[in-house]
């Protein structure tokens, strides 16, 4: 009967839609009821059914069923006629309801817990419920941590998330199948207990000098900070000599006295929990050497808190406070216990020199550095400050990334300077003292030579484990998802609908978004807007408004900074604690930024500032991300020309000094500049460092 009416009365272009589209089914059944209800009294009885049988010629059918069976089986109240609701039931049309006050619900859950989102849409009979995230239907996706049990087995269509993470935050919408216009939105707020770090853990000071104790805490919502001294609230002891700075994240003591000795406890608290840590201060006369100040090391005087600079004449270890060179590993120096040299002299070279392309810190124990012309990775032991091992690689290794979650170093090699056979390799157990070797990832389509680049999100205070990375293939409008645990490809995210060949990525755990920079239009050269990819569904959400350029995400995931060199802009967007991306504020600059680094704010608790290096000029850029304040750091020297740095951008790195570091390092052609991030100025210039564009920070082991 429905097929008959669809064929006779539906518009030609809409025929058959009722099978998949509930709205089309309802319109068709409404038309049927109108035709059956001859006297328009809102009921269909047996006499009206008889008329339809005669009019439509239904006296003979191939089925044993007749229209009278509608009354036999669907007259729910046995009053010998059918209402429209009973008619809907007969033809599987659902009536759905949602109270207005329940259109938007907020659910708060603590990270690591499980949560059930129940759709409040009801109907008779109960309609199938469809769930979506960023307009992508979840019911048909096979997701590890999100499930929607089939209603065929008696479930109510609820959405289940196991072991909630911050990537799950955001909006989830539900609607009855065929009724997308009536939907309910569930906003999932994921709270995270505070995680706290203090610096220094212990320090000794002589009477009369200044002492500073800093506390950095992150959590969702942002935690409130409080300080205790020897178990007592410090606020009652505040004075001109003892003050709280940077929104309470720093205890500043000028002209310290013996009675300032104590255990200073920083406490961070939010709705999800509490964390605390102790920073100890010992005020000791210089003549009284105790165990405390024997064990304590001034910042920069131990083996940690150093910049390692890899340049033509080897490796220099630089203490940034006084800009002292603590160690110079020369090209001719032999590896510890071996005959190999750090940088063996190449055939045809007049002088023995080093060529480096990248380096990474492995748990403050080792530094891995690529030597592209030697087809190897050099490993430097941080404790002894000596080169200890080399690892053979595919030809021309150019990029490294340390995956702390799995203690492995990922390595991109070009094969040759024309990038004709690039490969991706991994070195496992990178922090172990044993001998190392590389392992290839599996080929894609039996080809190794398509890898253009790769991206692995860095961990942070709140997210210690990273499961997946992304691989970019040459000239392909797609992202290839890489399982870091198995070193195998597990999926492909197509960007073809947007014509986007990816060039660079950034990631925030707040909502699980990847921000993808796309190659410009080949015909016109016009920039393409960034794409936003949902890391939960592995689907493209859409474009990031009109934002285009290279993305960088702050360590806490709260700020997205995009360098749009073509427009002369640095664009800053905030990501909210509910995973919502804000509108950008723009910083106009003609510096042609090469690299961006983030350093903790010295004026606001739990915030970060951005520092940018110029690819062509002698200034650096400082941006206070919280307020938008911008300053230039002047009087640097010109950077390396891109032609003298063939290993890919940036031609001038900007490297920050960790969570509590005050300093940053950025190279010039033949020197290295150390910047003071607290004062936003140059701290010093260290000369005779040519080609020093590979810099690594090493904190306290």
- For residue 507, what pLDDT is reported? 98
> Token pair for residue 108?
């708060």
- For residue 291, what pLDDT is reported? 46
Task: Using the predicted structure, report yes or no on whether residue 552 has a pLDDT greater than 70.
Answer: yes
- For residue 481, what pLDDT is reported? 95
Identify the band that residue 298 occupies on the pLDDT scale cut at 50, 70 and 90.
Answer: very low
Identify the band that residue 27 occupies on the pLDDT scale cut at 50, 70 and 90.
Answer: confident
> Token pair for residue 101?
């006050």
Q: Cα(649)–Cα(399) distance, rounded to whole angstroms?
A: 11
Average pLDDT of the segment spanning 327-334: 96
- Lowest-pLDDT range of 83-92, 582-591, 635-644, 655-664: 83-92
- For residue 52, what pLDDT is reported? 82
- For residue 701, what pLDDT is reported? 56
- For residue 316, what pLDDT is reported? 98
> Token pair for residue 310?
């890899």
Q: Express each pLDDT in 34-46 by its tens digit.
A: 888 889 998 988 8
Q: What percent of the chain has pLDDT over 70?
A: 93
Task: Using the predicted structure, report yes or no on whether residue 692 has a pLDDT greater than 60.
Answer: yes
Average pLDDT of the segment spanning 23-43: 85
Contact 403, 466 (CB under 8 A): yes
- For residue 295, what pLDDT is reported? 46
- Three-state SS at 297: coil
Listed as own residue / partner, the contacts of 145-150 with beta carbons closer than 8 Å and 24 or more positions apart are: 146/536
Q: Express each pLDDT in 461-512 by its tens digit.
A: 999 999 999 999 999 999 999 999 999 999 999 999 999 999 999 999 999 9
Beta strands at 170-176 and 146-147: parallel, antiparallel or unpaired: unpaired
Identify the band that residue 78 occupies on the pLDDT scale cut at 50, 70 and 90.
Answer: confident
Task: Using the predicted structure, report yes or no on whether residue 300 has a pLDDT greater than 70.
Answer: no
- For residue 128, what pLDDT is reported? 86
> CB 351: neighbour CB atoms within 10 A?
8
Q: What percent of the chain has pLDDT over 90?
A: 72
Task: Using the predicted structure, report yes or no on whether residue 63 has a pLDDT greater than 70.
Answer: no
Q: Cα(216)–Cα(225) distance, rounded to whole angstroms?
A: 9
Task: Using the predicted structure, report yes or no on whether residue 231 has a pLDDT greater than 50.
Answer: yes
- Three-state SS at 152: helix
CB under 8 Å to 27, separation ≥6 — which residues? none
Task: Using the predicted structure, report yes or no on whether residue 290 has a pLDDT greater than 60.
Answer: no
Task: Using the predicted structure, report yes or no on whether residue 153 has a pLDDT greater than 60.
Answer: no
User: Which residues partner with 308 through β-bridges?
Assistant: 317, 696
Q: Is the previous residue joined to 2 through a cis bond, with omega within 30 degrees of 0?
A: no
Average pLDDT of the segment spanning 548-565: 96
> Token pair for residue 328?
């110079």
Q: Cα(504)–Cα(512) distance, rounded to whole angstroms?
A: 17
- Lowest-pLDDT range of 206-220, 334-348, 403-417, 489-503: 334-348
Task: Using the predicted structure, report yes or no on whether residue 287 has a pLDDT greater than 90.
Answer: no
Write out the DSSP string of 4-42.
HHHHHHS-GGGTTGGGT-HHHHHHHHHHHHHHH-TT-SS
Task: Using the predicted structure, report yes or no on whether residue 698 has a pLDDT greater than 80.
Answer: yes
> CB 641: neighbour CB atoms within 10 A?
11
Enclosing H/E stretch for 397: strand 397-403
- Lowest-pLDDT range of 285-299, 503-517, 674-688: 285-299
> Token pair for residue 428?
């496992």
Average pLDDT across the chain, whole number: 90
């Amino acid at each position: 009967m429905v097929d008959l009416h669809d064929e006779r009365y539906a518009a030609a272009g809409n025929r058959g839609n009722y099978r998949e589209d509930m709205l089309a089914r309802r319109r068709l059944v409404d038309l049927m009821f109108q035709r059956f209800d001859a006297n328009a009294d809102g009921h269909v009885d047996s006499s009206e059914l008889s008329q339809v049988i005669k009019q439509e010629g239904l006296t003979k059918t191939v089925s044993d069923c007749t229209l009278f069976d509608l009354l036999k089986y669907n007259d729910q109240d046995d009053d010998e006629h059918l209402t429209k609701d009973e008619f809907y039931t007969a033809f599987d049309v659902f009536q759905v309801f949602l109270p207005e006050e329940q259109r938007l619900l907020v659910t708060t859950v603590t990270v690591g817990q499980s949560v059930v989102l129940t759709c409040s849409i009801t109907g008779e009979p109960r309609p199938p419920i469809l769930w979506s995230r960023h307009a992508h239907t979840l019911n048909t996706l096979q997701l590890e941590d999100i499930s929607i049990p089939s209603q065929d087995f008696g479930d109510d269509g609820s959405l289940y998330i196991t072991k909630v993470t911050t990537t799950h935050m955001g909006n989830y919408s539900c609607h009855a199948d065929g009724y997308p216009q009536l939907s309910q939105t569930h906003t999932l707020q994921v709270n995270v207990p505070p995680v706290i770090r203090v610096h220094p853990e212990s320090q000794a000071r002589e009477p009369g000098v200044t002492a500073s104790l800093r506390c950095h805490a992150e959590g969702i919502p942002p935690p409130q900070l409080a300080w205790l001294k020897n178990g007592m609230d410090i606020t009652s002891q505040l004075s001109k000599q003892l003050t709280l700075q940077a929104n309470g994240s720093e205890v500043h003591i000028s002209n310290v006295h013996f009675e300032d000795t104590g255990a200073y406890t920083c406490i961070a608290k939010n709705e999800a929990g509490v964390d605390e840590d102790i920073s100890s201060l010992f005020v000791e006369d210089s003549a009284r050497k105790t165990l405390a100040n024997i064990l304590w090391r001034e910042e920069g005087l131990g083996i940690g808190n150093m910049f390692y600079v890899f340049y033509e004449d080897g490796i220099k270890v630089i203490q940034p406070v006084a800009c002292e060179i603590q160690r110079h590993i020369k090209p001719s120096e032999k590896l510890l216990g071996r005959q190999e040299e750090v940088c063996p002299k190449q055939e045809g070279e007049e002088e023995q020199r080093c060529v480096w392309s990248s380096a990474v810190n492995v748990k403050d124990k080792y530094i891995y550095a690529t030597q592209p012309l030697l087809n190897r990775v050099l490993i430097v032991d941080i404790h002894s400050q000596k080169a200890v091992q080399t690892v053979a690689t595919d030809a021309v290794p150019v990029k490294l990334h340390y995956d702390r979650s799995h203690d492995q170093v990922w390595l991109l090699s070009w094969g040759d300077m024309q990038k004709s056979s690039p490969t991706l390799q991994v070195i496992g157990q990178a922090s172990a003292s044993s001998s190392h070797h590389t392992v290839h990832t599996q080929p894609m389509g039996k080809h190794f030579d398509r890898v253009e680049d790769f991206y692995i999100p860095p961990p942070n205070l709140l997210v210690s484990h990273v499961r997946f990375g992304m691989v970019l293939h040459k000239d392909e409008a797609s992202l290839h998802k890489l399982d870091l645990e198995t070193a195998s490809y597990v999926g492909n995210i197509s960007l073809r609908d947007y014509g986007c060949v990816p060039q660079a990525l950034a990631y925030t755990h707040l909502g699980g978004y990847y921000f993808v920079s796309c190659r410009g239009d080949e015909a016109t050269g016009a920039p393409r807007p960034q794409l936003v990819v949902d890391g939960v569904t592995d689907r493209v959400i859409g474009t990031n408004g009109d934002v285009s350029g290279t993305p960088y995400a702050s360590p806490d995931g709260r700020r997205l900074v995009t360098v749009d060199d073509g427009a002369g802009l640095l664009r800053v967007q905030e990501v909210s604690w509910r995973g919502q991306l804000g509108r950008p504020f723009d910083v106009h600059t003609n510096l042609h930024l090469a690299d961006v680094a983030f350093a903790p704010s010295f004026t606001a608790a739990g915030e970060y500032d951005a520092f940018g290096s110029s690819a062509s000029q002698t200034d650096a850029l400082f941006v206070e991300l919280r307020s938008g304040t911008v300053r230039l750091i002047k009087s640097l020297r010109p950077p390396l020309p891109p032609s003298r740095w063939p290993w890919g951008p940036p031609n001038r790195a900007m490297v920050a000094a960790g969570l509590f570091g005050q300093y940053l390092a950025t190279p010039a052609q033949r020197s290295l500049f150390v910047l003071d991030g607290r004062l936003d100025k140059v701290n010093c210039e260290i000369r005779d460092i040519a080609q020093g564009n590979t810099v690594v920070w090493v904190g306290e082991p």
